[in-house]
Amino acid sequence: MKEVIYNYDDLTEEDITENVIRMKTLIINSNNIYIGNENGIFQFPGGHLEEGETFNECLKREILEETGIILEYREIKPPFMKVTFLNKDWPEIGKNRKAEVYYYVIKTDKKPDLSRTKYTEHEKAGHFKIEEIPIEFAIDRIRENIPNNEKNKIISPDMISAIEEYLKQCED
């Protein structure tokens, strides 16, 4: 598994006051990838690990909530990439957050089923939707989308890195 760590403030484990774990998924159907779009912010389906939840339970729940796709445990393979962010004074001054993001690949022939999604009020207000993009155009599409929202400047580089790592591992 490829690991990337961002620690621009040289924080130590002792400096951390809050830990967050997230799952993100590259859902591949044939030669297409599903990408969430909320108010012009692209993101892979996924979300926060809840207390008492296993990584696989989180993945199944988040994929169902955002795409309506019901995953079987046998479809879930180990993560292929982990990105860790150590941020000083985030999300507010005096808090130092360690965020671990685990990237998974799910290869499936299942399509999104919006009748089974459970969008949050925030996602509904942001007109969250799932876009299906041919994998060979996904990186260009993500790059083209960066100017559409300030948050894309933070999220998009990791999305691109994840797709590049996935494609590299497919070649190996």
Measured distance CA(34)–CA(28) in Å, rounded: 7
Question: CB-based burial of residue 119 (10 Å sphere; 0-12 exposed, 13-18 middle, 19+ buried)?
Answer: middle
Q: Which two tokens stand for residue 79?
A: 């993560």
Other Cβ atoms less than 10 A from the Cβ of 150: the count is 10
Q: Where are the domains of the chain?
A: 2-171
**Per-residue pLDDT, 172:** 76
pLDDT in tens, 10-58: 999 999 999 999 999 999 999 999 999 999 999 999 999 999 999 999 9
Q: What pTM was computed for the model?
A: 0.93
Given a contact cutoff of 8 angstroms between Cβ atoms, the answer to whether 62 and 69 are in contact is no
Tens digits of per-residue pLDDT, 65-74? 999 999 999 9
User: What CA–CA distance (Å, rounded) separates 21 from 83?
Assistant: 10
- Selected from 3.30.70.20, 3.90.79.10, 3.30.930.10, 3.40.50.300, the CATH number assigned to the domain covering 2-171 reads 3.90.79.10
